[in-house]
Structure 1
Amino acid sequence: MFASLKNLVKVGAPLLIAAATFAGAAQAQVPNYVRVRNISWAGSGCPAGSVAQNVSPDLQAFTLLFDSYIAQVGPGVPIVEKRKNCQLSVDLDFPQGWSYTIFTVDTRGYASLEPGVNGLQQSRYYFMGSAATGTLKTPLVGPVDRDYQIRDVLGLSALVWSPCGATRALNINTEVRLDNSCAPGASGMMTIDSIDGNLKLIYGIQWRRC
């Protein structure tokens, strides 16, 4: 079941913070309004009760705060912990006659990888009812011990456009994954702290007339 973004939940000291905001790309023509209508989520990185949320008063941005979005490998760590994911379903409200696509994704997180441990941060997105999928991913190779901030850019040939004449939710399946098969005794941890954008700035939304 998807959790629903209906009530503001405040967390005093969240372990992880994920922010998702949307933005129209700098173009000559864009819709005269774009609003976040609703958001839902599900996945091993965002189980029920582990996510706090906030929608800005102008409905132009939202923030999700996670306390369980952590992938780990190492001695004594169950194998199921090597991958965590969270699928977001984002419903936008905008005027008829427009179609949009995402072409950049900004991600922030933390990685602590011993030598021989490989990490992967990945986002796949698609529109409800469409088979077309876009993928943005960034690999990390140990040794690494730092916060990371990444901007992925999707090539024009891989852009996935929303259908014209229909309102379809955008699904964004994010994940972090670790692999220590080349160094079985090595340990690693990787988180997603934030996925950023803004209806006025980032998360690379590009518009076109239908």
Structure 2
Amino acid sequence: TDVPDVLTLTEKHHGGNGCPSNTQTVRYNVANDRRSIIVQYENLTARINSRTSPADERTNCQVNLQVAGRNNYQFSVASATYYGFARLDAGVTGRHGSIYYFSGSPDQAFTATGISGPRRGNYRLDDEANKRVWSPCGESYPFNINTDVRMDSDNDNATGEMSREDGADGTVRQVISLDWRRC
């Protein structure tokens, strides 16, 4: 499938306990081939232990991007790949999930994936979108990405954390793969 020769993103807003709106904790860009959007989160961290609250166990960030491209193309989210660092005891599960939608449309797509302990190290988690939700035909439209990381445990004494990737850029990274079609 061909892709448009132009695709630009402008952030309209971001917010959530993983990216407060008054901070610069989210970065994003379009891949050179325009087949993916890369979002990097500095504070998208969740942890669980005997003293954590539910707020510690789930962190989210919603990003609203204005997408501009050629008016004769549409895109939908095909899949997402999440990169980060996990330290999970036995019995602890960490999950990434995202909801994707275009402002003004009731349709949503989602990706969700996870890993279980014991585990310690950088991770890569992949998931296909549950369905295709196509952008409007037009040159500019708002695209929303609501991403979270959450922890669960079946062992009250176990601990776990999912956070920024060791090395590289020190962020939790999400690569959103796109499908394209002509209007």
TM-score tier by shorter-chain length is: 0.7 to 0.9
TM-score normalised over the length of structure 1 = 0.72
TM-score normalised over the length of structure 2 = 0.82
Which amino acid in 2 is paired with 1:97?
Answer: N
What is aligned with 2:128? 153
CA deviation string 1:9-52 (max 9, x = no partner) = xxxxxxxxxxxxxxxxxx2x322311223353111111233616
Q: Which runs of 4+ in 1 moved over 3 A?
A: 52-56, 60-65
- Distance of 1:50 and 1:31 partners within structure 2: 29
**SS in structure 2 at match of 1:169:** strand
- Distance of 1:54 and 1:173 partners within structure 2: 14
The answer to whether 1:175 aligns with 2:155 is: no
- Distance of 1:89 and 1:98 partners within structure 2: 20
- Distance of 1:54 and 1:179 partners within structure 2: 28
The answer to whether 1:32 aligns with 2:5 is: yes
Give identity over the alignment, percent.
28
Q: Identify unmatched segments of 5+ residues in structure 2.
A: 165-171
What is aligned with 1:115? 90
Which amino acid in 2 is paired with 1:184?
Answer: D
CA apart distance, 1:167: 3.3
What is aligned with 2:18? 45
1:30-179 correspondence to structure 2 within 5 Å? 30-47=3-20, 48-49=22-23, 51=25, 53=27, 64-66=40-42, 68-154=43-129, 158-165=131-138, 167-179=140-152
Deviates more, 1:125-134 or 1:40-49: 40-49
Of the three residues 136, 150, 156, the one matched with 1:184 is: 156
CA deviation string 1:69-106 (max 9, x = no partner) = 21111122223100001111121111212211110212
Which amino acid in 2 is paired with 1:84?
Answer: T
Which amino acid in 2 is paired with 1:154?
Answer: A
Deviates more, 1:35-44 or 1:101-110: 35-44
Q: Identify unmatched segments of 5+ residues in structure 1.
A: 1-26, 197-202
- Distance of 2:114 and 2:29 partners within structure 1: 31
- Distance of 1:38 and 1:52 partners within structure 2: 10
Residue correspondences, number:
171
**SS in structure 2 at match of 1:91:** strand
Q: CA RMSD in A?
A: 2.4
What is aligned with 1:7? none
Q: Hey, which of these two has a bigger chunk of strand by percent?
A: 2
